[in-house]
Structure 1
């Protein structure tokens, strides 16, 4: 057995499932007519263990970190873009800023391991583990201790957000090179060949994608990883921001909050988290299917049913913010819509 941080996540109790489903079914609509919104309402009611769920103080945590693997040419963008984009987040100019503002979601930008220093800023959480990971083609991306530290810091950050009144958290990331890390994690945990996991990332051509798959293949051969040791796998091929996001997801589920899962990288963080505590999946709403090639397979591995498929592949938690109004709609219909009985509407006769 390999030691790893103990996350004590309770499976969601099904005691009120029948009552919740009955409440959903009694609304003035044909059975199942609200489709995925009904399944989301059921999930949220089960997470909150109530027939009248509420969404409080939604927040998006965006974790940023740099990746040594960028030196191997896995991205068309230079590493400096991670630092520059964090400044863009702090200035309010990125896509996640626009969508979080639109939907009244608080935004926290977490420096998990960017290769650069930032001045203090009200939206910035300094949690730097190191100035970027090592290239996992030559060494483990981080030490086991750094990985544990990232997981624990992430959990503490999520719990602080929840202690301040949030019960729904979205998770996003920024890190040039991080789709390569995510593809490596997926390949190991899903037992899939790298070519079924890698995609274009921020815009690779066909030759770039092949090269990326070869790099992941080489890394997996080098480290000889054991999927039953999730912390070892994460330390070898992960990123500081992916590890910290996984920890934040685990901490949020431990506190019984609702988790909004973004695209490919966030799903890879969740996949890793689910190998530490499988019960975490009870707390998740999958906001969208990303345009990144491996995401559909990754969602299938997680048994996920994403709300949206808009061909988005931006990261930053943008999928969680875009889908948030649908999550609100699922709660609102459950709480506000009349039942056949209360509205005096006749039910089906068959």
Structure 2
């Protein structure tokens, strides 16, 4: 709990002066005002986060949290739970979807075993296991409050180490069969939405099994009675270890004034938890894409996120964050590399 408290104490609001300077410069670049749309807003936000007119975003990493979910016992996923362990190894060895897209974005992928059900001995994986998967939330809590805090602190510690190593742009990713179920449970509780409205098929669950998934989420909420006014309570009772780790990354980014790119649906659930713990974190997050998962639009709206990409994606792993890195870096280049009308010698327009 000490690490979490220390991190929360460091989180401050955006640097308003830096944002004003950035907006003023962008408004006077050699182009019509607002003509580069959201790129301009991203550049201003980056200045607010970093306190710099021209922040550098030349060292990028996606931190992928891997964990299993005990609720898979309820038949809520098409893929067997063993796939989590297999895919975690593939991600660590650079051959999964996020690895391909991160390579194009010149970003490192950091693979973390925070709760895979089984032992992983690959030296390319960071071994930070809290427990071998969560409990079955349809029967009881996912984890204890102490375990939830430890998992958040794992995310904080890894993000802090990456920042110390020079990372100036972070992305969140995850791997965990069944993790759309705790994500939907979190969204349902925090937004006050009926699970039936937001429960999707996840990793290709047959539609005839969707009613069971909805019933499982209802049961998890009824049995555990999470307190929506306590983000850690919600996380511990109906969340996931991967969600906890990603929330920790977001908290650490905010505490260290480093932007964090939110991937898709599961990452947005983590953002909901992080912002519930400390509302100022919201300003340090950049939403990458509009996931195709059914509850994703509701989750983004609940967080007041405006996804920058809509590519019908729903893979997770951090793939959307990897693609967004290119656009975010472009926003920084726009602000720094373009000249103003005054610098061009044609007066201020």
Q: Which TM-score bucket, shorter chain as reference?
A: over 0.9
Structure 2 SS opposite 1:138: coil
Aligned to 1:57: 59
Structure 1 SS opposite 2:73: helix
- The alpha carbon displacement at 1:15 in A equals 2.0
CA distance in 1, matches of 2:153, 2:185: 22
Aligned to 1:111: 113
How many residue pairs were aligned? 346
Asked if structure 2 preserves the Cα contact closer than 8 Å seen for 1:61 and 1:169, the reply is yes
CA distance in 1, matches of 2:163, 2:125: 17
RMSD of equivalent CA atoms: 1.6
Aligned to 1:66: 68
Asked if structure 2 preserves the Cα contact closer than 8 Å seen for 1:4 and 1:148, the reply is no
Which of 11, 14, 19 does residue 12 from structure 1 map onto? 14
Aligned to 2:147: 146
- The alpha carbon displacement at 1:325 in A equals 0.9
Per-residue CA deviation, residues 280-321 of structure 1 (Å, 9 max, x unaligned), is: 011111111101111111111111111111111000000010
Aligned to 1:23: 25
CA distance in 2, matches of 1:226, 1:156: 27
Asked if structure 1 preserves the Cα contact closer than 8 Å seen for 2:105 and 2:325, the reply is yes
Asked if structure 2 preserves the Cα contact closer than 8 Å seen for 1:4 and 1:231, the reply is no
TM superposition score normalised by structure 2: 0.96
- The alpha carbon displacement at 1:115 in A equals 1.0
CA distance in 2, matches of 1:255, 1:228: 26
Aligned to 1:218: 219
Asked if structure 1 preserves the Cα contact closer than 8 Å seen for 2:98 and 2:319, the reply is yes
Structure 2 SS opposite 1:343: coil
Per-residue CA deviation, residues 110-154 of structure 1 (Å, 9 max, x unaligned), is: 000001112242x31100011111111111111111111111111
Structure 2 SS opposite 1:59: strand
Gaps of 5+ in 2: none
CA distance in 1, matches of 2:3, 2:300: 25
TM superposition score normalised by structure 1: 0.95
CA distance in 2, matches of 1:342, 1:152: 47
Distance 1:107 1:4, change over 3 A: closer
